[in-house]
Amino acid sequence: MSAHSTFRTPLQNLFLLTEKGFDKAFGPEWNPIRQLGTVAFYLFFIAAVTGIILYIFFETSVDGAYESVEYMTHDQWWFSGIMRSLHRYSSDGMVLAMGLHMVREWSFDRYRGVRWYAWFTGVPVIWLLYVSGLSGYWLVWDELAQYVAIGSMEWLDWLGVFGEPVATNFLAEGSLTDRFFTLLVFTHIFAPLFLLFMMWVHVIRVTQPKISAPRGLAIGTLVALTVLSLVYPAYSHLKANLDVIPTDLALDWYYMAFYPLYDAWGPAALWALAIGGSVFLSIMPWLPPLKQPAPAFVTLDKCNGCRRCYEDCPYGAITMVPRSDGLPYEQEAVVDAAMCTRCGICVGACPTSTPFRGEDELITGIDLAHLPLKNLRKLVDQAISEASDGIVVVGCDHGQHVDNIDGTAPVVLPCVSQLPPSFIDYMVSNGAEGVLIAGCPDCGCRFRYGVQWMQDRLEGRRDPYLRKRVPRERIRMYWASPLDDKALHAEVDAFKTDLAAFNKEDDANV
């Protein structure tokens, strides 16, 4: 077992178990573990809105800052005090969501190949998030702000990039001016703006990115943060005094875990950790490089420019360009190899991907090099012949384990949505008693939309549709994680029972 697998597999299982628990409590769509990226966006906007409200009451001066925050916290606790706590906890929550999101993407190996861009641009997001959060602590100007500000400035001064040491502004009481404090305010305003910009860059190459949390999850998160704000309101330390070194501090460990390391190790070691860690994170998508088969390819004389592959590709790897071969169609599909994940969803979307043709004609408009349509039909034919109870189970490389289920035979694909609906028609027409599609959990597809597209095709909401002549009683969909083997076996047994009842009823009607 590789070192990656040694750590990755237990983490995967931990996430899958956690997701399963949240699925039972809230359902897949409102599951916060499945929506960590959207939750982080949502928490940013909570922090932004509450920050704007707080700024209305905030006094931008060395002498007035602390008093204005104390007024908001105690005298107007019922509004601005709650806003302050929401601002604090949403910021902390964003750090937590971001960290879990990174670990989850790494554990499921969703950071290499075409996903390198999102991972790479996530590194400056981390830096900007910390600059945004820490600069906010300075503005309270209590003992904790004093500790953070002095530590941060001494850390920056070690680089020697400023003409004079910035930490000299914190030498003694009275040395910090309103002008410098105004600069801190601007830092806390513009750092989040740059953060928002980098968050946009982070998702710019994602087709139909999800940045809005589902309504139920959004409401639940806001209610939870509000309750937390009422039960454990955010309070300040004593007012900062540059003549005194603060010793009794309650650190916000989401943002300030590195400051004790600075005190213990010094600036050089902490810079080495920060820069070295950032570089390591940046190059992780190529450690080691992801080995992939050839990308999807277009057979131009079979492509009529219908745009279905273009519309279904989860990663924008397909573009439509003017026709180049003289055939009487307006457009043709072109695959960007650098963006292709080799999932095969485009094959399942192509109207020419049908098994009801001779061997020599089994060529589709778009296909996978490592699993072309001809080979797919051979896998299906083999599964039909080997299924002792007549049930073919279609699974994917990243979902449930569909082999070794009594009475069935598996067809394993990169994604279940590679299977065109016409293949289900083909299986039922050629002797399969039933077809069970067993893919990734709902809202947890490896390729984002594979589960959704398959559901929509079989239920008549997305072209290509499954023909009406196919009895729906012979088709079943079951979405679950790789940890749900027992549940999958139970679903197959239930399917067998239902098929037996359907066959009996069908025979009685003949």
- Confirm if 51 and 84 have CB atoms less than 8 A apart: no
Give every CB contact of residue 282 below 8 A, 6+ residues apart in sequence.
120, 123
Side chain identity, residue 15: F
* pLDDT at residue 510, as a whole number: 61
Q: Which residue has the tokens 């066959």?
A: 503
Compute the average pLDDT of residues 38-65.
Answer: 95
Compute the average pLDDT of residues 105-133.
Answer: 95
Q: Which residue has the higher pLDDT, 501 or 168?
A: 501
In which band, very low, low, confident or very high, does the pLDDT at 168 lie, cut at 50, 70 and 90?
confident
Q: Which residue has the higher pLDDT, 164 or 402?
A: 402
- DSSP H or E stretch at residue 331: strand 331-335
pLDDT surpassing 70 at residue 2: no
Compute the average pLDDT of residues 195-210.
Answer: 91
411 three-class SS: strand
The two structure tokens encoding residue 259: 């400051």
The two structure tokens encoding residue 162: 């400023």
Query: Does CATH place domain 35-286 in 1.20.810.10?
Result: yes
pLDDT tens-digit series, residues 336-386 = 999 999 999 999 999 999 999 876 678 999 999 999 999 999 999 999 999
Looking only at Cα atoms, what is the longest distance across the chain? 97
pLDDT tens-digit series, residues 238-285 = 999 988 888 899 999 999 999 999 999 999 999 999 999 999 999 999
Give the count of beta carbons closer than 10 Å to the beta carbon of residue 366.
26
How far apart are the C-alpha atoms of 360 and 316, rounded to whole Å? Answer: 31
* pLDDT at residue 504, as a whole number: 87
pLDDT tens-digit series, residues 409-449 = 999 999 999 999 999 999 999 999 999 999 998 888 999 99
Give every CB contact of residue 217 below 8 A, 6+ residues apart in sequence.
26, 29, 30, 31, 32, 35, 38, 39, 42
* pLDDT at residue 4, as a whole number: 56
Give every CB contact of residue 407 below 8 A, 6+ residues apart in sequence.
387, 388, 389, 390, 391, 492, 496
Q: Which of 1-10, 252-261, 397-406, 434-443 has the lowest mean pLDDT?
A: 1-10
Delimiting residues of CATH 1.20.810.10 domain(s) in the chain: 35-286
In which band, very low, low, confident or very high, does the pLDDT at 16 lie, cut at 50, 70 and 90?
very high
The two structure tokens encoding residue 474: 């012979």
| Geometric angle at alpha carbon 291, from 287 and 295, rounded to 5° | 135
What percentage of residues in the chain have a pLDDT greater than 90? 80
183 three-class SS: helix
How far apart are the C-alpha atoms of 353 and 364, rounded to whole Å? Answer: 5
Query: Across 344-483, where does the E strand assignment appear?
Result: 366-367, 391-396, 408-413, 434-439, 475-479
* pLDDT at residue 195, as a whole number: 97
How far apart are the C-alpha atoms of 368 and 379, rounded to whole Å? Answer: 15
State the first-to-last Cα distance of the chain, in angstroms, to the nearest integer. 56
The two structure tokens encoding residue 189: 């305003």
In this structure, are strands 434-439 and 475-479 parallel, antiparallel, or unpaired? parallel
- Confirm if 144 and 249 have CB atoms less than 8 A apart: yes
Give the count of beta carbons closer than 10 Å to the beta carbon of residue 444.
23
What percentage of residues in the chain have a pLDDT greater than 70? 98
pLDDT surpassing 80 at residue 116: yes
- Confirm if 428 and 471 have CB atoms less than 8 A apart: yes
175 three-class SS: coil
Buried b (16+ CB within 10 A) or exposed e, 374-384: eebbebbeebb
How far apart are the C-alpha atoms of 443 and 450, rounded to whole Å? Answer: 10
Q: Which residue has the tokens 């606790």?
A: 77
Give every CB contact of residue 303 below 8 A, 6+ residues apart in sequence.
329, 332, 333, 352, 365, 366
How far apart are the C-alpha atoms of 123 and 111, rounded to whole Å? Answer: 12
Among the listed residues 395, 334, 402, the one whose alpha carbon sits nearest the alpha carbon of residue 365? 334
Query: How much is the CA Rg of the chain, to the nearest whole Å?
Result: 29
- Confirm if 191 and 135 have CB atoms less than 8 A apart: yes
* pLDDT at residue 5, as a whole number: 66
pLDDT tens-digit series, residues 71-93 = 999 999 999 999 999 999 999 99
Domain 297-509: top CATH class: alpha beta
- Confirm if 362 and 373 have CB atoms less than 8 A apart: yes
Delimiting residues of CATH 3.30.70.20 domain(s) in the chain: 297-509
How far apart are the C-alpha atoms of 126 and 131, rounded to whole Å? Answer: 9
How far apart are the C-alpha atoms of 93 and 84, rounded to whole Å? Answer: 14
- DSSP H or E stretch at residue 51: helix 36-57
Q: List beta partners, residue 335.
A: 318
Q: What is the pTM of this model?
A: 0.92
How far apart are the C-alpha atoms of 382 and 376, rounded to whole Å? Answer: 10
pLDDT surpassing 50 at residue 1: no
Q: Which of 24-33, 201-210, 219-228 has the lowest mean pLDDT?
A: 201-210
Peptide linkage before 314 cis (omega within 30 of 0): no
